Amino acid sequence: MIRQALAEGQLGKHPQSGMICELSQKRARGKPALFVKRHSKLMNFRTITRTALLIALAVSTTACASWKKKKKGSGAGGNDADFVQGTPLGGMGSESGSAGGTGLGSPLPERSEGGSFLSSSVDRRRFAPVQFGYDSYVVSPSEQGKVRSVVSSMKGSSESLIIAGFTDERGTAEYNRGLGERRAQAVRQSLISQGLSGDKVQTVSFGAEMPVDSSSNEGAWAKNRRAEFGVSK
């Protein structure tokens, strides 16, 4: 019958034959659509996976660079180049309480090589150190005469000045470095306010290192709370 219908061209006209033909066409169309849908999902999954891997790699690279930078800048005390302008004020120690606030003075230019406070080209004996009260970075009226003497001597000179701040032994190393920097900055500001060019003055902090008197008593602590002058020859 089907052959006869085909021969007569009647298959598309026969209801049952038409159903068979229509069903075959739907199945034929459905298979490619299902394949395309599955292929699309697979491509989306690969794209998401690749994007996630790239993000993870970028985060890992950034974290590694940050860790290396932090490690490079976290050297131990003793090298004055580690603690110049802007030393953060850390945890509170025994010599603590009134030395809060921000650093003084304007940003300083990069210190030239060989300008280290401990260099043999720096004269650290020319001027008397400025002394400070307990946990203070205020230059007292009794110490202003020392500042005026430095200004008077350095105004017409081509030499530059490095001010080193120190503390007594009490307190954490981080706090004392911050307090020493503030003492050096306070002296620098006093010099500038009395007419000395800020471009000629740099600061550094040694904290509790290099004490004048290593004893553990009030007299020794008073001597060690100071800011010293170094003249770069």
Identify the residue with better confidence: 91 or 228. Answer: 228
Whether pLDDT at 106 is above 50: no
Percent of the chain surpassing pLDDT 70: 55
64: which 2 tokens?
Answer: 């590694």
Among the ranges given (60-64, 83-87, 174-178, 210-214), the one the predictor scored with the smallest mean pLDDT? 83-87
98: which 2 tokens?
Answer: 């009134």
3-class SS of residue 137: coil
- The predicted pLDDT at position 135 comes to 94
Residue 178: closest CA among 99, 116, 105, 74: 99
Per-residue pLDDT reduced to its tens digit, 209-233: 999 999 999 999 999 999 999 998 7
Whether pLDDT at 207 is above 80: yes
- pLDDT average, residue stretch 33-52: 63
18: which 2 tokens?
Answer: 């038409």
- pLDDT average, residue stretch 96-113: 43
- The predicted pLDDT at position 92 comes to 37
Q: Where are the domains of the chain?
A: 2-70, 80-232
CATH superfamily of 80-232: OmpA-like domain (3.30.1330.60)
Per-residue pLDDT reduced to its tens digit, 155-183: 989 999 999 999 999 999 999 999 999 99
Residues with Cβ within 8 Å of 14's Cβ and at least 6 positions away in sequence, in order, are 5
DSSP 8-state assignment for residue 78: T
Whether pLDDT at 77 is above 60: no
Per-residue pLDDT reduced to its tens digit, 3-25: 544 444 444 444 454 554 454 55
d(CA 130, CA 108): 21
3-class SS of residue 140: coil
